[in-house]
Structure 1
Amino acid sequence: MKIYFTASESEDAQAAKETLIERYGHVPAGEADVIVALGGDGFMLETMHSFMSSRTPIYGMNKGTIGFLLNKYEEANLIERLEAGQITELHPLRMVAVDMHGQKVEALAINEVSLLRESRQTAKIQISIDGNVKVEELTCDGVLVATPAGSTAYNYSAHGPILPVNAGVLALTPISAFRPRRWRGAILPREARIELTVREAAKRPVSAVADAVEVRDVSTVTIEEKRDVTIRLLFDPEHNLEKRILDEQFML
């Protein structure tokens, strides 16, 4: 099996990369059967973005802190683990943000697209689904749309639902909603087209963030799943992403 190794800048991850290359060899990414990423969840997210256009499976090994998207780090039996690994396929969100000057920015998000207030004043955001206004005016610190893979991250911290990977849904979650007070968000079909319009944008500026891409002073943001892009993650059978997300719902 031909492997391309990549690692975060931490000393621990770089040392592990050198050890594994010496043991298993190393080929250019374009020739690899699998990409092995060494680091934490943040570096795994970077790796997924870097190889988003490739269908080469990515197998992460934890050399960071939490390691939710990664397998346990072990030097031995790597080839056997890769051969026995189970594929999980993810589709990113496509964000199209238009700022107050009419400039358009497109970006892809694996975890979530977030709208966040920029100033001391609350944001006022209108929410439309498939062209139909569902919330006329949400007064809040922000709002986000999360994929199942991202539902355990910022979405969960904002009291959004945890979504099974293969459920075919997205989470729409308000962030510190002031009005309407009792609205806790929605679970949407993956085919939904979500349009977020910022009210009083000049007075109450809002930024839009798709993973690591930030657009300041937005006026409208459109979000939908990009089904023609597939990210393939490889997990050990006893520790796959589907099981982790299920277990996360019972963490007390």
Structure 2
Amino acid sequence: MMFKLDRFAPLLKATSTLALIGEKADLRITPIMLSLEVKHPSPAFNAGLLLSPGFFTFYYTNKSHHYSIISLELFYITMNIMNARGFSSMLFFLIERSNRLYLRFDHSKIEPKVTSFRELTLNPPEMNHLARLDYGTFVSIDSPTFRSIVTELRADYAHVTLTDSQVKFSNADKEIVLTKRKKQCIIGDVTEKDEIKFVIALQPTMFFHDLSHQSARVWLFKSSNSSSAMIVPVGMYTQFWVYFPPKE
């Protein structure tokens, strides 16, 4: 398995967001995507970064799937140091029998060419992978509005109530209502008689603020099994997702 980025700065930025909530990540590779997934214990949610092959300059895997655990903290620190030293491109490859991730960084502005190598240990996965979500029912709001909700509610969780005309975010002390009529939200697959309720996490504040700064809009989806998800698209080949399990 081998992957190349002529510019790894976008991956560095994306990884820094996930590193706000966890020191290790579940690395998942298939022929159609590479993802990093982090579990946040309290409030409970899983967050991930999904990269399509088009994100990479070169993307090759000879396996139908690969799962392992990587030190997200060390991966981020390594890229950050190399970026600060002026290295711009990165090639990384996995040799499963050795349980290693090998990194090669190239400095494009120095002649003769300067190359630096690093390696990270991979461990067996621990996390149960999530079932596919039902993406039928959704509400979308612009990112500045979402950040205002996170800041104003100041709570671990927000209760979301969705109808065909509005969405309400609330906790015990406050509620914020956004309406379609005022073009404050986009609502899909909700009938006139529906009132759909679910819960999302809003903490850590820094994580959700940083996440929403990377996209113009935030999309919230309600699944049929009472779970919900947040999708934050970042360009054509990149998206963050956050999975909120049913809250008892």
TM-score by length of 2: 0.28
Greater strand fraction, Structure 1 or Structure 2: 2
TM-score by length of 1: 0.27
